[in-house]
Structures are given as C-alpha cells and as structure tokens.
Amino acid sequence: MAKKAKREVQEINASSMADIAFLLLIFFLVTTTFDSDYGIQRKLPEKIDIKTPPPEVKRRNVFMVLVNREDLLLVNGAPGDINLLKEDVKNFILNPNDEPNLSEKKEINSKGFGKVKISKGVVSLQNDRGTSYKKYIEVQNVLAAAFNEMRNERAKAEFNTSYDDLKAMAAKANEDAIKSS
C-alpha cells in the first residue's frame, strides 16, 4: 500500500479582516441613535435686550428663595426649610386671607369665569456659584411642584378633574377644531 502524503492545511488570508471589522464598527456607530432623556425639562426664557428695563414689581409681591454655597436656604430673608417651602410658596401666591405681607391680587375678566382674582406674586430663585447642582434642582422641583399643586387644586374645584386632564382635553379640542376647519 502506498503511503498517503500529508497535505498541508492552507492558511486563510485574514489580513483584511481587521479593516472589515473596523468599517462595520464605524457603520454601526454612525447609524445607531442613542436616546438620552437627561437634563432639565424646563423651557428657558428668551434672551432679552439689555436695554429693556425689567418690569416693576412691588417688594411685597416677590417671594425670594436664595440657595448659598453651603446648600442652605434663605426664604424671604430668613433661614428656610425645604420641607416647608412648597406650602410657603402656595400660601404666598394664593394669599387666602388677603394678608398685607403676602402677594397682592388683581381682578381680571376671564373668558367663561367672569371676574377672577389672580395673584401678582413672583417667585425668585437665586443661587450662589458654589451651590450644588443637586440642591438647585431639588429646590426648583419643589417650587414647580407647588405651582402644579395649585393648578390641580383649582382644576379639581372648578372642573372636578386634574389640570393635566384639562390640558389633554384642550389639546384634543384644538386638534378637532383644526380637523373640522
């Protein structure tokens, strides 16, 4: 019997594999989208002209919240507590007993409601350069929660539904009006 000769296994040329892998990597990096929902979900005010004078606001109508570099609150010139801030803001803005040290109210004619008293109150949040981002956002969230609660309480009292539901109904009504025209 004849002895079979051993055949050498041929090598696969892999020199271009690294190039192909690199091109695939670049392709997927370029075509993939990354969802990032991080950040503050607030609409910042438009930039105004420096020559425009600020609106005149009485001191009585300003609720001042200051956060210093040690993350301590100063509310209307006195040390404040973040746990009481929401109720303090609501009391200041609503001023249920028309107290002279809280915000004034003005009467306006509202469509569908007749004469309504609204607050002239302004909430001012200021911070130091050394204020931590976490504390600033925490205070801002408490202030926003106070206004959201006031809206919801008013919507419940007037319409027996939440403010968010009213916004959704109004958006749907606007959408229907656009479709019908």
pLDDT tens track of the chain, all 181 residues?
566 667 777 777 777 888 889 999 999 888 887 776 666 677 777 888 888 888 888 899 999 999 999 999 999 999 999 999 999 999 999 998 889 889 999 988 888 778 888 899 999 999 999 999 899 999 999 999 999 999 999 889 888 999 889 888 888 888 888 888 7
pLDDT given at position 2: 60
pLDDT given at position 90: 96
Per-residue buried b or exposed e for 126-155, using 16+ beta carbons within 10 Å of the residue's own CB: ebeeebeeebbeebbebbeebeeebebeeb
pLDDT given at position 18: 85
| CA neighbor of 137 nearest in space, from 47, 53, 46, 38 | 38
* Greatest pairwise CA separation for the chain in angstroms: 118
- H helices of the chain, where? 17-31, 82-94, 133-159, 163-180
Torsion of CA 59, 143, 42, 124, to 10 degrees: 20
- The distance of Cα 176 from the centroid of its chain, to the nearest Å, equals 28
Q: Which two tokens stand for residue 58?
A: 């009485």
pTM of this prediction?
A: 0.69
Alpha carbon separation from 18 to 26, 30, 107, 130 (Å, rounded): 12, 18, 74, 49
